[in-house]
Amino acid sequence: MFGRGQTGNTKLVKQLNREGILHQLKEKAPLSRADLAKLTELSRPCVSALVDEMIHEGLIHEVGVGQSRGGRKPILLEYNSQAFGVVGAVFEGSTIQLAIADLKGEVRFQYKTRFTQPLDGEMAIEGVERGLAVLLEQSGFDKSRLLGIGLGLPGITQRRDGTVSYAPSTGWMGLPVQKEIEERLGLPVIIDNDVNLMTLGEFYKGAGVGCSNLVFIYVGTGIGAGIMIDGQSYRGAMEASGEIGYMMIGPIGKRGRGEFGVFENNYSVPAIRKKARLVLPDADESSMSIMKQLIEQAHQGKAGARGLLDDVYRHWAYGIANIASLMDPQLLILSGEMVHIGEEGVQAILRLLSEWIPFVPRIKMASLGDQAGIIGAVHCALEAFPSRLKGK
Amino acid sequence: MFGRGQTGNTKLVKQLNREGILHQLKEKAPLSRADLAKLTELSRPCVSALVDEMIHEGLIHEVGVGQSRGGRKPILLEYNSQAFGVVGAVFEGSTIQLAIADLKGEVRFQYKTRFTQPLDGEMAIEGVERGLAVLLEQSGFDKSRLLGIGLGLPGITQRRDGTVSYAPSTGWMGLPVQKEIEERLGLPVIIDNDVNLMTLGEFYKGAGVGCSNLVFIYVGTGIGAGIMIDGQSYRGAMEASGEIGYMMIGPIGKRGRGEFGVFENNYSVPAIRKKARLVLPDADESSMSIMKQLIEQAHQGKAGARGLLDDVYRHWAYGIANIASLMDPQLLILSGEMVHIGEEGVQAILRLLSEWIPFVPRIKMASLGDQAGIIGAVHCALEAFPSRLKGK
DNA sequence: CAGCCTTTGTTAATTATTTTAACTAATGAA
DNA sequence: TTCATTAGTTAAAATAATTAACAAAGGCTG
């Protein structure tokens, strides 16, 4: 039934049932006690007792009465998502994003700093400290109501010991980020890879809502993926899953051992930009999306742009085909630079896929933009520091 | 704690605890009641009660007393793995393999038929019926003690409805295998893809023992993979995971839509054999392992063989690199034709991998040979039809 | 608008299961 | 022989769910 030989006692049942009730309330509020009894398949007295207990603890609120369905009017209940809060934080290049969210994961207050230089470890940690202070002050949120911090950063993170184990781009390897920040801020911290958190964000609040089995692909400075299996983030044996920048796609060339991956060297944004320079000497070197430029120029009939565009679609499709054939996900979410290829680009990729693989997955664009990471960070904290432990 | 909002009552706790006790006994028998109390973190009276109940039901046996550890001698208990049995069955090309195993998954009786022609659906079903009859007669095993049948077949199987959804090689698409056999034999049936079952076999009894996070790769007539995540078989959204024969590795060429995959077309056994014919005109066309031949000839200094061998290693390594970068498995198990490459071949592949990816997974050869499938089938049945439900 | 049926929610008794504490049994070592 | 130790059991207490009965509140019908 549950596997892994875990045992339990009546306390476990109670916790399970409390969780069951909260779970329903988070998804389908407002609900009456009677509704909850039906949904959880618990008896009405049991639901009443647990609900009353949780109302006492402040986890649930009564929010008025509902319409009668031919009898006594139901007393509607809602999850008191304001009882506690969590912090989400994301480091990215030279910026730090911070947010305070409620227990539903809705971001209430947000803050962003941009530094003039790429963050080093010390700056980053100090940045979070100062950012949180500002956020608490401006919002008037009480720090004692914060359950913890979910923190996203580039590179491979070891969630267990809270360190960064591999990060060629930032040089933070070996940094004990979690411990440092926990000591400085006096709040529990959970760290995770930035792409994993974007995946979590899209899963809970974006294009992946309602889908328990998906792969999220991000193309930016690097290329990475996040995996949700059975509603749970899959991080791999050494927390290094989703490092698809290392897939063997495109020319292999010569490269230092253990540096950047082949796929990334050929089809990340910087790589495409470099190729574009050869094909489009008059290309816009601004921060404008390289894919938008390519598409525009291809529409104008420029053969070089058309050729490169097709090449990029083809190789991205290789990556997707590899992922789909191995994992058979319910849904694939495209993000980062990929969102700029539009419906036309997706169709081009789907056309290629249908030539190669028998089961073509559903493909959607990411819907949260650059908020995905911070929203994911918030949910990461909610997963790691559930409020129910507070009540006895 | 458990997620997914499931609820329960005291019955659930009891079942959980019974499972916990059985789980320990399956792994570490013989154990005393006191040992079990420590291992399961249940109280001694509780363990005693549950154990006595299961002894009554015939699930557990007392097997004498053990050495005293400074006090009263413990009464040793063992899981009564002979209480019931399961059947494993595998269809492969023109052969049917059948086995009866005990509750530990140890194969007790085995049977194999070879037909002169490739199996069609009707032949296969009749073959299982007759084979089981023979097996029951020869072994004297009582059919009423069989919990069910685990059945492996090539192609993509839908475990839910028990049909074959995709099988270009056998033409069994749409066949309601499960229902047919259940009706004919009066035993519950669970079906699964053959490579998934081999994976399960290696996981429970072979190279993957003790590793909860692995990918199994099979190269034979086709190329396929099986995935274990967190001790559970991962089958994907449409039960089509592990179809790595469709990875984009090697020349793409022209091919009918939705036929065989690119990787498979280039680096499966038939594909390699075809290439070998060009390089080695005097090659042995017998059933001898093509990799053994290649390696032998390469050792004799034949450049053509050496070149093809390196090419095969390189492209298999591409596949492995793709899998490892996406999934970060704890262990990779090589099987089928791959087991013939030996330590030397594995080293060659590992050397390539370490050039391309930062985290090279542990690699092992499959250890069960052609028994992997049938052993997996047996465990598949054990997972699907647990005996504990029998007792009340 | 009175009576009745329905839905919501609570109360009290019952049931299932675990735990705690105390006890018996068996054994090796001093 | 005695004592400390480990194994296993018994009886009472504790926890939490369910069942059955009831109270509260509202709509509908004649």
- Residues 155-194 on B with a CB inside 8 Å of A are 166
pLDDT band at B283 (very low <50, low <70, confident <90, very high): low
Paired with A232 in beta bridges are A229
Minimum Cα–Cα distance from A351: chain B residue? B257
Between A343-347, B79-83, B311-315, the lowest mean confidence (pLDDT) is in B79-83
Q: What is the DSSP letter of B145?
A: G
CATH code at position B377? 3.30.420.40
**Inter-residue contact B119 to B127 (CB < 8 Å):** yes
Nearest to A358 among B166, B330, B357 (CB): B166
Q: Alpha-carbon distance A1 to A3, whole Å?
A: 6
The pLDDT of residue A254? 67
The pLDDT of residue B390? 42
Residue A25 domain boundaries? 10-79
Judge whether residue B346 has pLDDT over 80.
yes
User: Which backbone phi and psi does A223 adopt, to 5 degrees?
Assistant: -125, 130
Between B1 and A376, the more confident residue is A376
Q: Judge whether B5 lies within some domain.
A: no
Q: What angle is formed at CA A230 by the lines to CA A229 and CA A236, rounded to 5 degrees?
A: 30
Do B219 and B192 fall into the same domain? no
Judge whether residue B170 has pLDDT over 90.
no
User: What are the residues whose beta carbons fall under 8 Å from the beta carbon of A273, sequence distance 6 or more?
Assistant: A290
Q: Alpha-carbon distance A386 to A380, whole Å?
A: 10
End-of-domain residue from the set B79, B107, B134: B79
What's the pLDDT tens digit per position in A161-170?
Answer: 888 877 767 7
Do B123 and B255 fall into the same domain? no
What's the pLDDT tens digit per position in A86-123?
Answer: 999 999 888 999 999 999 999 999 999 988 887 777 88
Structure tokens at B71: 């006090």
Do B148 and B225 fall into the same domain? no
Do B142 and B284 fall into the same domain? no
Q: Judge whether B261 lies within some domain.
A: yes
Residue B236 burial by CB count (10 A; 0-12/13-18/19+): exposed, middle or buried?
Answer: buried
Q: How many domains does chain A contain in total?
A: 3
Q: Judge whether B2 lies within some domain.
A: no
> For residues B182-195, b (16+ Cβ closer than 10 Å) or e, as one string?
beebebbbbbbbbb
**Inter-residue contact A43 to A72 (CB < 8 Å):** no
Judge whether residue A144 has pLDDT over 60.
yes
**Inter-residue contact A5 to B24 (CB < 8 Å):** yes
- Asked if the Cβ of residue A152 lies within 7 A of any atom of strand C, the reply is no
Judge whether residue B363 has pLDDT over 80.
yes
Structure tokens at A149: 């911090």
Do B178 and B212 fall into the same domain? no
Q: Judge whether B299 lies within some domain.
A: yes
Do B234 and B359 fall into the same domain? yes
Query: How many CB atoms are located within 10 Å of the residue B35 CB?
Result: 19
**Inter-residue contact B108 to B159 (CB < 8 Å):** no
The pLDDT of residue B2? 60
Rounded to the nearest angstrom, the minimum Cα separation between B36 and chain A is 11
Closest listed residue to residue B266, CA positions, set B285, B251, B255: B251
What's the pLDDT tens digit per position in A224-254?
Answer: 999 999 999 999 999 999 999 999 998 887 6
The pLDDT of residue B255? 60
Average confidence score pLDDT of chain A? 90
Judge whether residue B389 has pLDDT over 60.
no
The pLDDT of residue B21? 94
Please report, rounded to a whole number, the percentage of residues in chain B having pLDDT higher than 90. 71
Do B17 and B93 fall into the same domain? no
**H or E stretch at A262:** helix A262-267
Do B65 and B167 fall into the same domain? no
Judge whether residue A158 has pLDDT over 50.
yes
Judge whether residue A344 has pLDDT over 90.
yes
The pLDDT of residue B391? 40
Between A25-34, B30-39, B253-262, B327-336, the lowest mean confidence (pLDDT) is in B253-262
The pLDDT of residue A272? 94
Nearest to B356 among A12, A246, A331 (CB): A246
Q: What is the CA radius of gyration of chain A?
A: 24
The pLDDT of residue A258? 45
Q: Alpha-carbon distance A31 to A34, whole Å?
A: 8
Judge whether residue B388 has pLDDT over 90.
no
Do B341 and B313 fall into the same domain? yes
The pLDDT of residue B121? 75
Q: Alpha-carbon distance A150 to A86, whole Å?
A: 8
Between A312-326, A335-349, B90-104, B200-214, the lowest mean confidence (pLDDT) is in B90-104
**Is B359 within 8 Å of A252 when comparing Cβ atoms?**
no
Do B212 and B359 fall into the same domain? yes
pLDDT band at A52 (very low <50, low <70, confident <90, very high): very high
**Inter-residue contact A60 to A23 (CB < 8 Å):** no
- DSSP structure string for A303-365: HHHHHHHHHHHHHHHHHHHHHHHHH--SEEEEEEGGGGGHHHHHHHHHHHHHHH-SSPPEEEE
Residue for token digits 């491979």? A156
SS3 B346: helix
Q: Judge whether B223 lies within some domain.
A: yes
The pLDDT of residue B259? 65
Closest nucleotide to B11's CA, by C1' atom?
C16
Q: Does B326 touch chain A (CB under 8 A)?
A: yes
Do B194 and B94 fall into the same domain? yes
HEC string of A190-253 equals EEEEHHHHHHHHHHHHCCCCCCCCEEEEEECCCEEEEEEECCEEECCCCCCCCCHHHCCCCCCC
Distance B53 CA to D20 C1' (A): 31
CATH code at position A68? 1.10.10.10
The pLDDT of residue B254? 67
Do B223 and B290 fall into the same domain? yes
Q: What angle is formed at CA B166 by the lines to CA B163 and CA B170, rounded to 5 degrees?
A: 95
pLDDT band at A284 (very low <50, low <70, confident <90, very high): low
